[in-house]
Amino acid sequence: MSAYVKGLAYLAAVLAASAVVAGCGAGSGSTGSASATSSDKGPIVIGMSASKSGPYSVDGVASLEGVEYAVHAMNQSGGWLGRKLELKVYDDQSDPTKAQQIYQRLITQDHVDFIIGPYAPDLAAAAGAVATRYKYVMLDPETALPIISGSKWAIMDEPAAKQNLDGYPEIVANEGYKTLAILGVNNAYGDECAAGVKEEAQQAGLKVVYTTSYAPDDALNSAAEAIKARGADAVASCSFFSDGVALTRALDRANYKPKVFGLTIAPSKPEFAEAVGNLASGVISNTSWAPSLKTEGNAEFVQGFKAFKGHAPDYHAANNYQSVQVLAAAVDDTQSLDQQKILDKLYSTTYETVIGTFKLSPDALAVGFKEYLYQVQADGKEQKLVYPDDVAEAKVATPYGGS
């Protein structure tokens, strides 16, 4: 028995020691940043988790750049309520668990004043749970899906996934083609987006000859064979970056050129052209934003971003810039940093932003934005808006790969 008691005593000591170590780490951090909120002179801190690495890294970095530029631009014009803005960012490696820990840390230890949501729906859900628990407004400009049902705090702040290829079936039908193959990466985004395309394809009178979902690391050889075997005139693929590349290449290997080729997300990145070369030419893709749009402050945004980052913004940057824009407007309107007041304001007001009209439905979804389609033209060098007609910069050129 005595050995047992002794053992427990040692255990207690070890536990206490580890608790102290952990406590010190946590404690030292919290004293450092607690002063930030208590002082009215210090900067206003915006916290964010970014997917700087992992599967979402390409778009994750682009998103972060939008926020970075927003903070920079707003500091140039005097900050918020006369206080400077400061950005606190951690890398979540595209992992929802890590994203959740990061938002926990941002709110409970770093005591940031505002948060911006992370990239992709699964991370948004993770972060949204934390935001809801601590009653922080979380605008997420990088999820096209509802975040947490019943929560007003976690807000989807971009066009919905289902809208992503809005207009694509119409283009296909208008060009005189009859059959369509629909692919979707096997997650909620892919499913929603593919469902949207399917619905619209039926309205447009197209025949859907093939549908499939696939794992993100699939080389898609067999899918390409299937598309070829069914002779689909057009292909619509709801994919992220790497699987978009894989499909483009697999179709090429199979010697099959659909007449119209629509691909979400991937073609917006310069890395796409790097990976597929001239196969990019003629691909139709979607965007929530384009530099040519005549939206509120868009020209200044494009110019300022270029000057700040040295390259043109893409729609991820614009989406994120928009979220900060909206927050800034709400802070200005309420003259407050109070989360509840800001939330109420967001649900009762509409704001004009670089990507269009910010307007919330009661179930925390942005319903004012539109999705646009563009085509990669001029041998892959340019992206021209082709849909809808009121913003179109060029006419759709088909067939794909015909040149």
Partner 1 sequence: MIVVQLFVNALLLAGTYLLLAVGLNLIFGVLRVVNFSHGGMVVFAGLFVYWLVLRQHVSPVLAVALAVVVVAAIGFVTQAAALARIRVTGYDAELLSLLATYGVALVLVNISALSFSADYVSLPELQGSWNIGSIHLGRAAVVAAAVGVISSSAVLFWLARTRSGKRVVATAQSETGAEVCGINAAVTKRVAFTLGSALAGLAGALTIFQSTMAPSAGLGYTVLAFVMIALGGLGNYAGAFLGALCLALLASFTSYYWSGTASAIAPYLLLLLVMLARTRGSRYSLV
Partner 2 sequence: MAVIAVAFGAYVYADGSRYLQTIVINSVTIMVVAYSWNLISGYTRYFSFGQVAFCGIGAYGSAVFMTKLHMSWPLGLLAASAVTALAAVPLGWVLLRLRGIYFALGTVALFVALSILATNTEWVGAGQGLPMPLITDFNVILFLSLAIGAVAIATTFAVSRSRLGLRAQALGADEDAVKVLGVRTLNVKLTMFVISAALAGMAGGVAALNAGFVTPTTGFSDPLNTQSIVYTLIGGVGTVWGPLLGTGVAQAIVTQFGPSAAREVEIALGLLIIVIVTLTPAGIVGLLNRVRILRRGVIMRPRRTDRALSVAPGWLRRFAPYDGDAILDCRGVTVKFRGVTAVDDVDLRVAEDEFVAVIGANGAGKTTLFNGISGYVPRAHGTVRLAGRDVSRLDATQLARAGLSRTFQVPRLVDSLTVWENVLLGSLLDSKRREAQDRANLIIDELGLRNVAYATVDRLGPGTRRRVEIARVVATRPRVVLLDEALAGMSTEEIAEVRHAVEALRAWGVEAIVGVEHVLSAVRGLAERMIALDFGRVVAEGSPDDVLEQEAVVNSYLGGTVSEEEEAAPRAAVARRVAGEHAEMAMEVRDLVAGYGQVRVLWDISMNVRSGEFVGVLGASGAGKTTLCRGLTGACTVHAGSVRLEDVDITGRPAHVVTHLGVAHVPSSRELFPDLSVNDNLRLGSVDWSGATTERQLERVLELFPEVQPLLQRKAGALSGGQQQMVAIGRALMRQPRMLILDEPSTGLAPIIVRRLMQALRSLAEDGVAVVVVEQNAVETLRAVDRAYVLQEGRVVFSGTADQLRDNARLAKAYLGSDASAASPATELDAADSLEPRPVAAPPDR
- Interface residues with partner 1 (CB under 8 A) are 53-58, 93-94, 186, 212-223, 225-226, 229, 241-243, 245-246, 249, 252-255, 274-277, 279
Q: Does 97 bind partner 2 (CB under 8 A)?
A: yes
By a kind-dependent CB cut-off of 5 to 8 A, residue 133 interacts, out of partner 1, partner 2, none, with: partner 2
Cα dist from 244 to 201, 204, 226, 258, 396, whole Å: 21, 25, 17, 15, 20
| Phi (first) and psi of residue 44, to 5 degrees | -85, 125
By a kind-dependent CB cut-off of 5 to 8 A, residue 149 interacts, out of partner 2, partner 1, none, with: partner 2
Query: By rule CB under 8 A, what string of x and - marks binding of each residue 101-120 to partner 2?
Result: xx-xx-xxx-----------
Q: How far is the CB of 186 from partner 1 (least distance, A)?
A: 5
DSSP 8-state class, residue 43 = P
CA-to-CA distance for 248 and 78, rounded, in angstroms?
46
How many residues sit in the footprint of partner 2 (CB under 8 A)?
60
* DSSP count for the chain of H helices, then E strands: 12, 14
Query: By rule CB under 8 A, what string of x and - marks binding of each residue 251-290 to partner 2?
Result: ----------------------------------------
Nearest CA-CA partner of 113 in 25, 157, 48, 49: 48
Q: Are strands 382-387 and 351-353 parallel, antiparallel or unpaired?
A: unpaired
Give me the DSSP letters along 191-260.
HHHHHHHHHHHHHTT-EEEEEEEE-TT---HHHHHHHHHHT-SEEEEE--HHHHHHHHHHHHHTT---SE
Q: Does 96 bind partner 2 (CB under 8 A)?
A: yes
Query: By rule CB under 8 A, what string of x and - marks binding of each residue 125-144 to partner 2?
Result: xx-xxx-xx-----------
Nearest CA-CA partner of 308 in 88, 77, 70, 89: 70
Which CB sits closer to partner 2, 274 or 363? 363
Give residues in contact with partner 2 (CB under 8 A): 3-4, 6-8, 10-12, 14-16, 18-19, 21-23, 25-27, 29-30, 53, 90-93, 95-98, 100-102, 104-105, 107-109, 121-122, 125-126, 128-130, 132-133, 145, 148-151, 186-191, 213, 215
